Amino acid sequence: DDELDSMDAAGVRGVRFNFVKRLVDATPRELFLRTAERVQRLGWHIVVYFEAPDLADLTPFLKELPGIVVVDHMGRPDVTRPVEGPDFGMFVDLMATMPNLWTKVSCPERLTAAGPPYDDVVPFQRHLVETFTDRVLWGTDWPHPNMKSHKPDDGLLVDHIARIAPTPELQQALLVSNPMRLYWSEV
């Protein structure tokens, strides 16, 4: 716990659990649960990274996690399927039933099937921003590790914000208010 205290003093505010099978070996979920419980005394959040087909299997585990849970990249939805379809609907339903579940509306460059300017990802991101305004975060995946399809234009990714959060109020929540509550709540 001394090491966790040192990390907290240095500004760390969360831990990330990676469930993307092509990137990591399986880790017993009990280990993740113990880690999540240990960091709660520090007020840290848990970030989970997984792919959409694994959501049904992970849902019971996600519901067991204490504190705020942040899903990376909207759970990597298949953007070739309808935003109102059952696949993405499962994630939206989980957000609706878990008030401690947040998501990052990030990584259109990885989720896109169409390529820049990521028109196919906008409806998914915008739906989450408009529906769960107080529990969404924006970010990039800079420096874009393991990207094979194209080199993302970071300026285009910043310009993308206005397409997914089209009002000043939505942008304020996405870019300022929500990150302040999550990372700097003591300020």
Q: Render pLDDT for 50-61 as a digit per residue (tens, 0 to 9).
A: 999 999 999 999
Tokens (6 digits) for 33: 């649960």
- Share the mean pLDDT of the chain: 95
pLDDT at 64 over 80: yes
User: In the annotation, is 120 catalytic?
Assistant: no
Q: What is the 3-state secondary structure (H, E, C) of the chain?
A: CHHHHHHHHCCCCEEEEECCCCCCCCCCHHHHHHHHHHHHCCCCEEEEECCHHHHHHHHHHHHHCCCCEEEHHHHCCCCCCCCCCHHHHHHHHHHHHCCCEEEECCCHHHHCCCCCCCCCCHHHHHHHHHHCHHHEECCCCCCCCCCCCCCCCHHHHHHCHHHHCCCHHHHHHHHHHHHHHHHCCCC
Phi, psi values for residue 136, rounded to 5°: -120, 150
User: Which among 57, 45, 80 has a CA at the least distance from the CA of 181?
Assistant: 45
Mean pLDDT over 92-100 rounds to: 98
pLDDT band at 95 (very low <50, low <70, confident <90, very high): very high
CATH number of the domain enclosing 131? 3.20.20.140
pLDDT at 40 over 80: yes
pLDDT at 153 over 80: yes
- The pLDDT of residue 148 is 87
User: Which among 108, 177, 98 has a CA at the least distance from the CA of 147?
Assistant: 108
From CA 159, how far away is CA 33, in angstroms rounded? 38
pLDDT at 83 over 90: yes
Q: What is the largest CA-CA distance in the chain?
A: 47
Mean pLDDT over 11-39 rounds to: 91
pLDDT at 186 over 80: no
In the sheet that 69-71 helps form, which strands lie side by side, from edge to edge? 14-18, 45-49, 69-71, 101-104, 136-137
- The pLDDT of residue 187 is 60
User: Which among 98, 144, 88 has a CA at the least distance from the CA of 121?
Assistant: 88
Domain count, the chain: 1
Tokens (6 digits) for 159: 């310009």
Mean pLDDT over 21-43 rounds to: 90
* Single pTM value for the model: 0.95
Identify the active-site residue in 141, 153, 154, 159. 141
| Domain boundaries, position 160 | 2-183
